[in-house]
A and B are shown apart, each in its own frame.
Chain A
Amino acid sequence: NAGVTQTPKFRVLKTGQSMTLLCAQDMNHEYMYWYRQDPGMGLRLIHYSVGEGTTAKGEVPDGYNVSRLKKQNFLLGLESAAPSQTSVYFCASSYSGDKPHHNQPQHFGDGTRLSIL
């Protein structure tokens, strides 16, 4: 069981460069999420998706874009990287919503460590 797979695992960028982080899940989950983790700040939600073709902003969306063209994939894009975007990025997925209040824990990938110089 692969679960949630993130690529790449590490990346170093120069300020102003662009890149795309890929997240793939094989659990047929409807919901997918991108978080960033910074020391002492826990997890902050960047964007999320409640289904194929839909995306929504989370707590810290500025400077990022996302796409969910296929149910199993959720892409996070940085159009013009800035040093403030140096962080560890986590993708997660969870089962949907046709059962309100159903137990729906999120399943995480191993993270992408991104440094912007």
Chain B
Amino acid sequence: GEDVEQSLFLSVREGDSSVINCTYTDSSSTYLYWYKQEPGAGLQLLTYIFSNMDMKQDQRLTVLLNKKDKHLSLRIADTQTGDSAIYFCAESITDSNYQLIWGAGTKLIIKP
């Protein structure tokens, strides 16, 4: 079945770039999403990319999609303490309008 995988933790120094990676198995995915969950809060949609794109940039965020390798990444430039959170990758699949397949989330830890 469909699967989305992420590393559970990433540790970076404040001011460096963070790159959070995600791999997925369904080649028919349409949209891929990044969500952010701050401690004690719900999930917020951070950004998304349509499957016919290979890059999307939004201020400090850059999303890269490699469809051949089924690899998605989220780069956060100039990482700040406010970026500490869990980041979830999710994909929508073409045979379902409603279902998202979720990764387990990557906890981003910022070192001073």
Contacts and interface: CB of A to CB of B under 8 A. Distances in A.
Given A42-B105, A109-B42, A50 B48 contact: no
Contacts of A103: 31, 48, 50
B104 interface: yes
- Secondary structure type dominating chain B contacts: strand
A100 B37 CA distance: 28
Contacts, number: 56
Interface string A95-117: 01100111111111111000000
Nearest to A103: B31
Contacts of A94: 98
B30 interface: yes
A40 interface: yes
Nearest to B92: A104
Contacts of A96: 97-98
A-B CB proximity, top 7 nearest: A42-B104, A108-B42, A97-B97, A108-B43, A110-B42, A31-B98, A43-B102
Interface of A: 4, 31, 40-43, 45, 48, 50, 90, 92, 94, 96-97, 100-111
